[in-house]
C-alpha cells in the first residue's frame, strides 16, 4: 500500500530530525509530530525496511545506508554514548602494548583517549584516527597503504589487509555498523569488512566498541561474530537480549 502524502511528509521530517539529533525515541517523535506512538512505530518500521534508519528498542537512529555518510554526521549519532565508551575502552588498554584500531567514530573516540598512555604502538586503517593521535607523546602510529575512502578516511583494499596480517597485536579495538540478534557483526562496505576480519584474526584480545543502538540493526556484510570478541564496551542502554548474548558467548561486558 502506498503511503499518503502526509505520511511521506512525516517520513521526510523524521529523517530530517534524525540527521540533526542522530537518534530519537518513539515517544519523543510522537510528541514532536503530534501523533500516536503506534503511528511513529509504523513510520520507523517503514523507514527501517527502506534502509534509511536503524531501529532499536523504543526508537531509531540515523542509518548511513550502503554508502557511509560524512564522518562528522556519524560522530553526532549517540555522541555522548560514544565518548563514554571511548574512555572506557582506553581504560582497558595498558601502556606499552601493540594495538590495532579500525576505522569508525566510536573507535576514534577510544583513540583520542590514549593521550596519557605510554609506549603504545598503534596500527590503524584510518587516516582520520592517525591524524587525531599522531602527536600523542606516548604513541607510535602506523597506517597501511590502500585506497582512502573520501567520506571518512578509512583505508581499504588488499594492500591494507596484507599489511595488517604482518602484525600480531596485543589488543584490537573494532567497531561495527550493527550487531545482529544471532551475534553476527555487520558492516556496509565489503572492502572494509576484509580489513576488519584481518584485524580480528591478528589480535590476542578483541574489544568491540559499539553503542547500544547498533543491536538488532541491519547491514549487508558480515565481518565476524560476537564469539570472536573478548570484551564488548557499550553504553548503559544495553538491552537485555544483548547482555544475554554476551553471557552465552563468554564475552566480558562493560557498560560505560
Question: Which domains are assigned to the chain?
Answer: 5-63 (1.10.10.10), 72-255 (3.40.50.1360)
Residue 48 has pLDDT above 90, yes or no: no
- The whole model's pTM is what? 0.75
Categorize the per-residue pLDDT at 78 as very low, low, confident or very high, splitting at 50, 70 and 90.
low
HSE-CB of 194 using CA atoms within 13 angstroms: 12
Q: What's the CA gap between 15 and 44, in Å, rounded?
A: 10
Of the listed ranges 58-62, 66-70, 86-90, 201-205, the least confidently predicted one is 66-70
Of the listed ranges 17-26, 134-143, 150-159, 173-182, the least confidently predicted one is 17-26
Categorize the per-residue pLDDT at 67 as very low, low, confident or very high, splitting at 50, 70 and 90.
very low
110-120 pLDDT, tens digit each:
999 999 999 99
Of residues 178, 240, 179, 220, the one with CA closest to residue 67: 220
Mean pLDDT for the stretch of residues 147-168: 92
Residue 42 has pLDDT above 90, yes or no: yes
Using a 10 angstrom Cβ sphere, with 0-12 exposed, 13-18 middle and 19 or more buried, the burial of residue 101 is buried
- Grid coordinates representing 15 are 529523517
* DSSP three-state, residue 137: coil
Categorize the per-residue pLDDT at 191 as very low, low, confident or very high, splitting at 50, 70 and 90.
confident
Of residues 56, 50, 49, the one with CA closest to residue 78: 56
Amino acid at each position: 500500500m502506498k503511503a499518503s502524502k502526509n505520511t511521506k511528509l512525516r517520513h521526510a521530517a523524521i529523517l530530517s530530525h534524525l540527521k540533526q539529533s542522530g537518534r530519537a525515541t518513539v515517544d519523543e517523535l510522537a510528541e514532536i509530530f503530534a501523533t500516536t506512538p503506534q503511528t511513529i512505530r509504523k513510520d520507523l518500521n517503514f523507514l527501517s525496511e527502506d534502509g534509511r534508519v536503524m531501529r532499536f528498542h523504543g526508537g531509531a537512529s540515523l542509518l548511513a545506508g550502503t554508502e557511509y555518510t560524512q564522518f562528522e554526521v556519524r560522530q553526532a549519532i549517540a555522541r555522548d554514548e560514544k565518548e563514554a565508551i571511548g574512555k572506557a575502552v582506553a581504560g582497558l588498554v595498558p601502556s606499552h602494548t601493540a594495538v590495532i584500531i579500525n576505522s569508525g567514530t566510536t573507535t576514534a573516540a577510544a583513540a583520542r583517549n590514549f593521550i596519557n598512555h605510554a609506549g603504545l604502538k598503534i596500527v590503524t586503517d584510518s587516516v582520520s584516527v592517525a591524524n587525531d593521535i599522531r602527536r600523542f607523546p606516548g604513541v607510535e602510529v602506523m597506517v597501511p597503504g590502500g585506497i582512502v575512502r573520501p567520506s571518512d578516511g578509512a583505508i581499504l583494499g588488499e594492500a591494507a589487509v596484507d599489511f595488517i596480517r604482518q602484525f600480531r597485536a596485543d589488543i584490537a579495538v573494532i567497531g561495527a555498523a550493527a550487531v545482529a540478534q544471532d551475534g553476527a557483526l555487520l558492516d556496509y562496505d565489503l572492502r572494509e569488512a576484509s580489513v576488519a576480519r584481518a584485524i580480528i584474526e591478528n589480535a590476542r584480545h578483541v574489544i568491540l566498541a559499539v553503542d547500544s543502538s547498533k543491536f538488532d540493526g541491519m547491514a549487508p556484510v558480515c565481518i565476524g561474530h560476537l564469539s570472536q570478541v573478548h570484551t564488548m564496551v557499550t553504553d548503559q542502554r544495553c538491552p537485555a537480549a544483548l547482555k544475554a548474548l554476551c553471557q552465552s558467548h563468554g564475552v566480558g561486558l562493560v557498560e560505560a
